[in-house]
Structure 1
């Protein structure tokens, strides 16, 4: 069978309805990643893991403690459908209904029959690194994910938040697009990550960094800031 060529895409699922058929460990993992993305999650299963029950009781997701049947409103309203039971016949029924409704559906452990697959992902604040083997070897995807987790630490979350703040300042103060791009490029030469890792980049230093940019937002200032940062790391 010819392998699929997947189209990489980052979806905005904030408050979007997503439904998971199944209540086991696989369904729990699917639910967790959807919750992280801000989706409105519904799990349909007569029995659910303890964690899924806890999430339902705390209002993190909605649980429908029933066996799947066709024409359930939660499936009809969903943006994404996940078939994650341990019953191949139920998973197949979910897939067929979802496809008939024009829904994107993911079938657990069956990439070839899925309309989409979920990559292994590493989140560091705004940084999202996704790894996929197109279903060929989830174990390899997990191994690469672990390597990325070691290479990209939690400091990247703070780093990107700071860059975003500085970027907005430059956009507000500098109208020339080429000049802005040059300033953004020079920002990437700053040794901010080591400074953040050291734990010595505090609010006072961030305020001084912002003050220097606002005082004179030019590429030359960015270069002087690079030297200033070097003296602190």
Structure 2
């Protein structure tokens, strides 16, 4: 199967997670900030998942899985170790649904990559099931290369880009500024503030209403 790496907006999409154990917990936490409507279908939940249910972050269907549970699913996560259940999930999934089969990623059409997050920066790594250990090693290397405070630098880039795009400059000048803020100089917070203040003093392009 050929996989294409994508970032998908799951806002208000119906996500059905079959299983309430540790693996289900990891999958739920991976998509919790996506604003999807997350349904967990399982007779029992881990303590963490139950707390998410109490906090109204997920919907819990306290029951044994039935094929009818998938009727309106946009994304299905099969987090059980029961082959017969996994088979039913695969056969019952709506044709438009995305499916992640935890027991055998190759059976579904979605693989969860290992992901390093630094604010708006997300770096995802997958070996397409070849070696989860390799993915873990690469993520360890990335954590050293992009430490936690990198989040502030990415936020600076984001804010600067918005201001630069609004300036009354030719596109070539804007591109030069966008390139310049990638300099190591701007890892320094004081340098970031100096540039941001300077950018805010520059004339903005006029709108049609003006």
Deviation of 1:163 (Å): 1.1
Q: Is the 8 A contact 2:37 2:58 kept in 1?
A: yes
Partner of 1:91: 86
TM-score normalized by the length of structure 1: 0.81
Partner of 1:230: none
Which of 130, 135, 146 pairs up with 1:141? 135
Q: Is the 8 A contact 1:91 1:107 kept in 2?
A: yes
Residue-pair matches, total: 203
Partner of 1:223: none
Q: Write the deviation string for residues 11-47 of structure 1: whole angstroms up to 9, x where unpaired.
A: 1123322110011111000000010333221110001
Which of 177, 181, 197 pairs up with 1:211? 197
- C-alpha distance in structure 2 between counterparts of 1:112 and 1:7, whole Å: 14
- Pick closer, same or farther for the CA change 1:140–1:207 going to 2, 3 Å: closer
Partner of 2:96: 102
Partner of 1:61: 58
Off by >6 Å, runs of 4+ in structure 1: none
Map residues 121-160 of structure 1 onto 2, 5 A cutoff: 121-160=115-154
Partner of 2:39: 42
User: Over aligned residues, Cα RMSD in angstroms?
Assistant: 1.8
- C-alpha distance in structure 1 between counterparts of 2:169 and 2:194, whole Å: 23
Please say which of residues 174-183 and 130-139 is displaced more in the overlay: 174-183
- Pick closer, same or farther for the CA change 1:109–1:151 going to 2, 3 Å: farther
Q: Is the 8 A contact 1:133 1:140 kept in 2?
A: yes
Q: Write the deviation string for residues 118-148 of structure 1: whole angstroms up to 9, x where unpaired.
A: 1011111001010100111122212212221
- C-alpha distance in structure 2 between counterparts of 1:192 and 1:158, whole Å: 11
Deviation of 1:175 (Å): 4.4
Secondary structure of 1:170's aligned partner: helix
Q: Which runs of 5+ in 2 are unaligned?
A: 204-210
Q: Is the 8 A contact 1:81 1:103 kept in 2?
A: yes
> Between Structure 1 and Structure 2, which shows a larger proportion of helix residues?
1
Q: Which runs of 5+ in 1 are unaligned?
A: 196-200, 218-233
Partner of 2:23: 26
Q: Is the 8 A contact 1:76 1:101 kept in 2?
A: no
- C-alpha distance in structure 1 between counterparts of 2:150 and 2:5, whole Å: 22
Q: Is the 8 A contact 1:174 1:180 kept in 2?
A: no
- C-alpha distance in structure 1 between counterparts of 2:147 and 2:34, whole Å: 20
